[in-house]
């Protein structure tokens, strides 16, 4: 008899539930669904980001060629132009791409707002609450969170 290894048991789930906990007390503050590595929403965002990056590079190359042809100094690259705030925003947007539609809302600065992908990016970039970014980052990067609980699950 042939032994069969069921690799389907290792396939990622499309979603997982991320639970927000207070960093000191561990109290559960709420939970919301997040996209796994193969979720269509995340793949779509990654493809759009790839196209945006290529367009940015092409625009820079054209700008640099024009500067060289005009005998001017080559402009700084897009990476050289980025500020810490730009990097923080880009990282938050990348992480927010995992946020799936739900009825989850958050209260921040005394206001309650729906926790959408757009508001998530803004909140995740907020340096006043780094624990949310850090916790969610660890969660989505830990691929075990998107695997079935047990073989045959």
Q: Per-residue confidence of the chain (153 residues) as pLDDT tens digits?
A: 578 887 777 777 789 999 999 999 999 998 999 999 889 999 999 999 999 999 999 999 999 999 999 999 999 999 999 999 999 999 999 999 999 988 888 888 889 998 888 899 999 999 888 999 999 999 999 988 988 764 444
**CA Rg, the chain, in Å?**
20
Q: Tell me the C-alpha distance between 131 and 24, whole Å.
A: 10
Structure tokens at 77: 């690259």
Structure tokens at 99: 């946020």
Structure tokens at 19: 């639970």
Place of tokens 């561990």: 26
**Contact indicator for 95, 136 with CB cutoff of 8 Å:** yes
What is this structure's pTM?
0.80
């Amino acid at each position: 008899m042939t032994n069969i290894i069921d690799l389907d048991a290792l396939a990622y789930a499309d979603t997982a539930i991320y639970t927000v906990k207070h960093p000191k007390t561990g109290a559960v503050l709420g939970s919301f669904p997040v996209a796994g590595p193969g979720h269509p929403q995340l793949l779509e965002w990654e493809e759009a980001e790839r196209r945006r990056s290529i367009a940015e590079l092409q625009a820079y190359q054209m700008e640099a060629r024009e500067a060289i042809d005009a005998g001017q100094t080559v402009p700084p690259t897009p990476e050289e132009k980025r500020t810490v705030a730009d990097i923080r925003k880009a990282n938050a947007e990348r992480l927010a791409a995992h946020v799936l539609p739900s009825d989850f809302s958050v209260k921040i600065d005394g206001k309650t707002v729906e926790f959408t992908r757009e508001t998530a990016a803004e909140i995740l970039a907020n340096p006043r609450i780094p624990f949310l970014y850090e916790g969610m980052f660890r969660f989505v990067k830990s691929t075990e969170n998107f695997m079935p609980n047990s073989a045959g699950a």
